[in-house]
A and B are shown apart, each in its own frame.
Chain A
């Protein structure tokens, strides 16, 4: 079974600074997907960024980027130029690849509560 570990229950950062959230996972699969979801106080689950395991290039979405280390099974999220609106719970999630027509679940870490301070 796959597991996802987020070792930082809480973090804080000053506005405009950079912060990195850690995530490690355990799997015997070779083909899979990794995600970071953001959950602000409104509770909505919002996709921040995704990474395909077969891609060596790290995914980037504006101020958000990942450092994907497949051999180390590490998938950290870097937030640059932090904004007050980035304050939220951040969840790292894993999904293994299945053939089309199948279905697979997201396995979540326990989350990191990020607070951006003014």
Chain B
């Protein structure tokens, strides 16, 4: 069983489109995250939710909107896609606050290509 699962794994879409990436974790964790890995493989946090509440919101264009319907799901919706949005997006989760000493577990990533 995959602990943190994301769909789709691969997505190719045209500029200007709107797309969503879904994430689900079956670990019973309270905190979920979205990280972005750019073309140079640099990983950076975008958002963090704890029990459906937005906790971390890095400097991300407001075209990106996370939604957490329950603590097991954290979806990422992207409006008006741009070429620079091409990246691998990782969903992750941890038990309560990761900064309290808990490990962050990552999904397999969703590879988004904007053409």
Q: Which A positions have Cβ atoms within 8 angstroms of B?
A: 33, 35, 37, 39, 42-47, 50, 52, 89, 91, 95-106, 108, 110-111
Contact = CB atoms under 8 A, between A and B. Distances in A.
A43 B50 contact: no
Given A91-B43, A103-B56, A50 B97 contact: no
Contacts of B108: 42-44
Given A45-B90, A50-B103, A110-B42, A101 B48 contact: no
Interface in B4-41: 31, 33, 35, 40-41
A43 B111 CA distance: 10
Chain B's interface size range is 20 to 34
Most buried by B among A50, A102, A103, A106: A103
Contact of B99 (A43, A89, A102, A110): A102
B101 to A, nearest CB: 6
Contact of A97 (B42, B100, B109): B100
B43 A103 contact: no
Contact of B98 (A37, A43, A95, A108): A95
B105 interface: yes
